[in-house]
Amino acid sequence: MVRTSLSEKKLQKALGRVRRRQARVTERYPGDSRARQPVHTVYGGAHLFVSDTAGKLGQLALRTLEAYAADAGAFAEAISGHALPYAVLMYIWGAKVLPESTTVSALTSRIRMIAVSSDEEGAGRWQSYRRNIAEDYRRVFGEEPGRVTAIELMTDTDNTGAVAETFYGDLSLSPAP
């Protein structure tokens, strides 16, 4: 057994004080959601940290980005192994959007959303939608679409904090008539 300079009783008392104070700090400054993770985390003992450690690590990170991912597209490809799409057309369904309305993403103008429905009447029932992807793309981006590289289905309640259960049925694509 490792010998310590504090008795078990004194150690528990000190740890209790630390836990109580940490609980107060956490209550006052909750920080980011645990759902998000930093892109870069450095683990090292306190004995390795000096006044310019953060600056040096930041400069190293910038040099690495410049060498291997000079722009957002190169960075995304380096992280995921896939190139960023030129543009993303999303079809959304929600209670706070008008059908056929278009929304531009707050993150980038290269993501546009078309509301296919806005009522809650359809909740709990199968829904069926028919879209002309090329026409929709032209309408929201004002340009000719390129080659479709991916189709994704997603249920997302991030903005509402709600809970959703979704089932997807058959998805079919066919040339426009």
CA 36 to chain centre: 8
Q: What is the mean pLDDT of residues 104-122?
A: 84
CA 94 to chain centre: 19
As a whole number of Å, the end-to-end CA separation of the chain is 79
DSSP secondary structure letter of residue 56:
H
Residue with tokens 């426009």: 176
**Where residue 148 falls among pLDDT bands split at 50, 70, 90?**
confident
pLDDT of residue 143: 93
Percent residues over pLDDT 70 in the chain: 89
Query: What residue segments make up the domains of the chain, in order of their start?
Result: 51-84, 86-168
- Which pLDDT tens digit goes with each residue over 34-90? 666 566 666 777 777 788 888 888 898 888 888 888 787 788 787 777 777 789 999
Residue count of the chain, please give it. 177
Query: 93 pLDDT exceeds 90?
Result: no
CA 133 to chain centre: 25
